[in-house]
Structure 1
Amino acid sequence: MNQLDKRSLSRTQNLTLTAVVAALYAAVTMMVAPIGFGPVQLRLSEGLNHLAAWNKRYIVALSLGVLIANLVSPMGWIDWVFGTLDTVIMTALTYYLTRKVGSALMKIIISTISVLTVGMAILAAEFTFAFAINAAGSFPPDHAGSIWANWLSFYLMLVPGEFASLAVGGIVIYALSKFVDLAK
């Protein structure tokens, strides 16, 4: 096989893997749609965020999957823009923090910390902003208070469901990493 064929195959493989992961993210999110949106959510597809620790293509794949899934979000454009941007930021952070980490378990731990801290902080800010401007489909915090109290309230509501999704996804991705080279 000549060099041009190898490059073409590599591009095709990258595009295919990106599309498959984006579609999988969107499909799993829409399967659990009633509990996949809002401040108390169990978006099982979030477990796929760990993939960004292995290859930067998954930053695009997951962000595209989030955008597609969020097209049915009750918060509309706010979720399309900020939810997608949140995914770009937290998966890029995961990728850069784990580039030189060899252990699959450490990659998953770093990914989990990145998503639970940075990712959920941004999502809590998105919900706080949506509530503050009375956006259609926004959710009230569990109590009325200052903007910081509302942000903290949203953050604390988001973390348990996200942690559960990351734990399940972490187990699946860890097992998969033993049989498939996720970096390729």
Structure 2
Amino acid sequence: MNNLNQRPHSRTTNLTLTAVVAALYAAITMMVAPIGFGPVQLRLSEGLNHLAAWNKRYILALSLGVLIANLFSPMGWIDWVFGTLDTVIMTSLTYVLTRKVASALMKIIISTISVLTVGMAVLAAEFTFAFAIKATGSFAPDHAGTIWENWLSYYIMLVPGELASLVVGGVVIYALSKFVNLAK
């Protein structure tokens, strides 16, 4: 009988944590909205991506947070679809790569590499696609060239802001992991 009493609490806790992280991601993004969108961005909420290294619930939470924040993106549906899909991919990869890693620091390092490589590659492709089809709200690369040159240009523009966000988030998540069991 005791398991029956704990099961609804567990579902409630998962749902609550998912909602809180999604709302936190969206709120932080909106606080820095002018610089939270576009190829040169500082989206501090991206530092929350490290949470996926502790529990798969954060894949959904972060993806929902991105979707909510991207509802205000100047690129509209392209950012809703591809930005959210990018988050699903990179946070899932982070979760898979860190499932058996015990060290909080290693989890953050792996998460950072996952986001900076796969995550920013997909986001650069999104911007390249949006610019190529002349989508509303798309941003021109720093030069007009081939698709590969445009993609590389976007990638290079995205990485510094993302790295800054991941470092700040990494410090916060690392400190939090010392006091809170993020895996539960």
Map 1:15-164 → 2, pairs under 5 A: 15-164=15-164
Q: Percent identity?
A: 87
Residue type of the partner of 1:146? T
| Cα distance in 2 between the residues matched to 1:54 and 1:45 | 17
Q: Kindly report the root-mean-square deviation, in angstroms, between the aligned alpha carbons of the 2 structures.
A: 0.5
Unaligned runs of 5+ in 2: none
Q: Cα distance, 1:12 vs. partner? A: 0.2
Q: Cα distance, 1:3 vs. partner? A: 1.2
| Cα distance in 2 between the residues matched to 1:65 and 1:23 | 6
Q: Cα distance, 1:58 vs. partner? A: 0.1
| Cα distance in 1 between the residues matched to 2:144 and 2:126 | 17
Tell me the TM-score normalised to structure 1 length. 0.99
1:113 aligns to what SS in structure 2?
A: helix
| Cα distance in 2 between the residues matched to 1:13 and 1:180 | 14
Map 1:157-176 → 2, pairs under 5 A: 157-176=157-176
**Number of matched pairs:** 184
Deviations 1:65-90 (A, max 9, x none): 00000000000000000000000000
Moved over 3 A (4+): none
Q: Cα distance, 1:132 vs. partner? A: 0.0
Unaligned runs of 5+ in 1: none
Q: Cα distance, 1:5 vs. partner? A: 1.1
Q: Cα distance, 1:122 vs. partner? A: 0.1
Tell me the TM-score normalised to structure 2 length. 0.99
Match of 1:2 in 2: 2
Q: Cα distance, 1:182 vs. partner? A: 0.1
| Cα distance in 2 between the residues matched to 1:95 and 1:86 | 14
Deviations 1:23-65 (A, max 9, x none): 0000000000000000000000000000000000000000000
Residue type of the partner of 1:145? G
2:141 aligns to what SS in structure 1?
A: coil
Match of 1:177 in 2: 177
Residue type of the partner of 1:103? S
